[in-house]
Amino acid sequence: MRDANPQTIYLKDYTVPEYLIHNVALNFILDDEDTLVRSRLTLSRNPASYSPNKSLILLGENLKLLGVNLDGKDLAKDQYLQTQDALIVNNVPQQQRFELTIENTINPKANTALEGLYLSNGMLCTQCEAEGFRKITYFLDRPDVMTSFTTTLVGDKDRYPVLLSNGNKVAQGELPNNRHWVTWEDPFNKPCYLFALVAGQLECIADRFTTQSGREIDLQIFVEKHDIDKCDHAMQSLKNAMRWDEQVYGREYDLDLYMIVAVSHFNMGAMENKGLNVFNTKFVLARPDTATDSDYEHIEGVIGHEYFHNWTGNRITCRDWFQLSLKEGFTVFRDQEFTGDRTSRAVKRIEDVNMLRTRQFAEDAGPLAHPIRPDAYIEINNFYTLTVYEKGAEVVRMVHTLLGAEGFRKGSDLYFERYDGQAVTCDDFVSAMEAANDIDLRQFRRWYSQAGTPVLTVRQHYDASAQTLALTIKQSCPPTPGQAVKESLHIPVTMGLLNKDGSAALCKLEGSDRASDEVILQLTQSEQTFVFEGLAEQPVVSILRGFSAPVKLVMDRSLDELAFLLSHDSDTFNRWEAGQQLAGQIIAGLIADVQNGRELHVNPVMVDAFRQVLEQPWDDLSYFSLLLGLPSETYLGDQMEVVDVEAIHTASEFVMRALAEELESQFFALYQANHKDESGKFDAGAIGRRRIKNICLSYLGKLENINVQRLAQQQFNTAKNMTDQMAALAVIANNPHPAKQRCLDSFYRQWQEEALVIDKWFALQASSHMPGTFETVKALMQHPAFDLKNPNRVRSLVGAFSQSNPLHFHAANGQGYQFLADQIIALNTLNPQIASRMVGALTSWRRYDESRQALMKAQLERIISTEAISKDVYEVASKSLARQD
């Protein structure tokens, strides 16, 4: 039964560890159901600790303890105490080092939570971040205890032919009864959350990388035999990341071997364990016929992310879990920049901001709002959030903007030099940036401790006689749980000015002798006015270029002004943003028309703006495709005081259909011009052509005529790459296409042996807005290919329905809410991490009408009152129900 008062952990209570571990030797005798773990620890009292406690407290969960030995002597049971979550050893030496040996067993097969050592599709593997190592053996399971690991793995040669762990392989041998052993040694101190073990029947592809200093690094990717032909892109992505980190940050890989293992059952995307990265198969496996262009890009980005962690996370790690954004925010920023350099910088920035505004802003506005450095938690796994990762990356990006590329590199170099081999804090990162650039970032530090999304309200006044433009910017931030009063932040606001002909107007601030096409305003007060001189005519303001800060912008804009920016703004982000604001304003008006029963008409300004975009030549076709996209229904809902899912969907569908009718010939011509088989080609041109033709097909699909239906089915039948096949199937599944079920069945038969492709099949049906979707989702829960124990499968069906299908999930009868609660309760005992993440779809219940509020709240109360509810789920559900003052 759940603890009625689960413990809250506070940042203010941090103390240094009472003991240090100087080295650890681990020995595993592997078995799917009864693995023996022997750990030999060399410890000493931490001289920096002032605690009078003379007992050693090691953390452990779900372990069967066999024995404890202190300095060569077996301890009697009255010399230690075993509790539900700890081993307390009494009277350990206080003045010198001592050696503690512990033997315990664990059951990997029974470990459905996928933390610690568990069985994944026949393979033994580990996930120790954040607190999984305590499910392997008793340990000081905290990130500021860093030590060297030597690991010996023993197993049956047929059952576990491959035995992997961190570092370098230093010895191996044979044993009786068809067993063998391998010893791995990691020369770098690390916290136990970076420990990894993999054992099973795996195949390997190998390559080499030569560092900038001439060292040869062996690269290995391990997968199941049937996936060996899907690793080439992952290997090339790894080499691209290694070269980029050398060129941009001067960081060279430090071991002689770098390994990646792909596993099918994994709670996360990937894990940066030192020298042995464990990945979700989703972010390793790719072949043109099984993976989309988006999959290819994400694989390279995630492989880059985990590789970059070698320095921003492994060599320098977190002092405590409140500092999680120290490594994740910085590393997400690094992987975003890597992907931007490798693909289209404009597209990457827009995609990142789109996700931030539709998902992280909602987190900031809800009951679970927290700073990127939280000050308290009940379950640390609940703080692997978009706020810590994505907003954390935006905070690092603002530092980069304030310092410039050269200054940021100076700061990162100093950071690596100062703190290599240490567990440090977010303040240490900022301090290095300050010291390297002689800048005061004291006010900027508030970004780390203040929750919520700031709002910038902008007013402008043009004085024709003085030829000046006064731009007044006011910053505010709504109250969030535990933070009713907000302080002013240091916000970089990048902006430019445009003349009436679309050319750049020079930005010259009053009192400055410099003028440029673009300027970074430093907003530090609650309200500031910036005056620009020498403007013979009133310019059009392009503000928050590149989305230079994670804020909401409030500024009166006419439809004509937005259409002008969509046609002329030189900043790629703001040009796209103008189109989104233009469409958003028009759809908002149509939503009001739907709610009041008025006839619907699309403003011709929007049609003309889209026509101009379609008629212009574009070098970056992927960017061109984004300019043709409409705001998502989720984003539109976020702009409403009370979310009306039916009106949003009706208005959005009407606009898409109207644009298709008005611009049918242009969409069709563009589709035909770019419809060619370029399967296996992933250059910018080929990817862009696929994006353009497929967005044109999505518009044409709204026309519901026989020619378009044939066009979609022909593309589905003849596609030789997954991008085109999935795009065609999406058009068929999201419109009244007569061959819908036949195509879905055909797709399943074609790809039933490819788990990641079938995940797409589940997700496509779960996110469909067509009638009958809820019944389809319920039926798919009983499908032979669905497995509640597989996180990817849960995310593809339950997650896609609850998080990507607002129309049907928020059905007025509450059936979607009850369905989700049923699955959360079922998952709670299987995998609390995944269960708690599913609760997120219910946390915004206050944003809806009273009837839906009552239905969602009732399901949250049902969840929280469930017997044996996990602290993971309890924390999210209880905070969601807490009163919001």
> Can you tell me whether residue 57 is helix, strand or coil?
strand
φ, ψ for residue 74, nearest 5 deg: -65, 135
Taking alpha carbons only, the member of 168, 233, 244 closest to residue 205 is 233
Dihedral sign, Cα of residue 821, residue 825, residue 827, residue 832: positive
Amino acid at 272: E
**DSSP of 611-670, one letter per residue?**
HHHHHS--S-HHHHHHHTPPPPHHHHHHTSSS--HHHHHHHHHHHHHHHHHHTHHHHHHH
Distance CA 437, CA 440 (A): 9
Element (H, E) at 555: none
Please give the Cα distance from 189 to 403 (Å, whole number). 32
Token digits for 651?
């208005």
User: What amino acid is encoded at 705 in this protein?
Assistant: N
- Report helix, strand or coil for 875: helix
- Provide φ and ψ at 220, rounded to 5°: -140, 135
CA proximity to 171, closest of 314, 27, 30, 72: 27
Residues in CB range of 254: below 8 A, 6 or more apart: 188, 310, 315
Q: Are 11 and 878 in contact (CB under 8 A)?
A: no
What phi-psi label fits residue 768: left (phi over 0), alpha (psi between -120 and 50 degrees) or beta?
Answer: beta
Contact (Cβ atoms closer than 8 angstroms) between residue 243 and residue 258:
no
Helical pair 426-437 and 392-419, crossing angle rounded to 10 deg? 70
Q: Indicate the DSSP class of residue 269.
A: S
Beta pairing partners, 221: 205, 260
End-to-end CA, the chain: 31
Which of 85, 2, 14, 247 lies closest to 873, judged by CA? 2
Question: How many alpha carbons lie under 13 Å from residue 97 in its C-beta half-sphere?
Answer: 9
> Active-site residue numbers?
306
C-alpha to C-alpha distances, 496 to 280, 502, 595, 825, nearest whole angstrom: 43, 12, 38, 52
Distance CA(581)–CA(216), nearest Å, equals 51
* Residue 200 contacts residue 162 (beta carbons within 8 Å): yes
SS (H, E, C) 207-266: EEEECCCCCEEEEEEEECHHHHHHCHHHHHHHHHHHHHHHHHHCCCCCCCEEEEEEECCC
Q: Which of 338, 389, 333, 400 is nearest to 359 (CA)?
A: 389
Closest alpha carbon to 211 in 310, 306, 328, 342: 310
Helix (H) or strand (E) holding 291: none
Give the dihedral sign, CA 822/827/828/832: negative
Report helix angle 559-568 to 604-615, nearest 10.
Answer: 0
Tokens linked to 823: 């699955």
Instruction: Give 494's Cβ-side CA count (13 Å radius).
Output: 17
Specify burial of residue 223 (Cβ count, 10 A radius: 0-12, 13-18, 19+): buried
Q: Chain centroid to CA 293: how far?
A: 18
Report CA torsion sign: 436, 438, 444, 449: positive
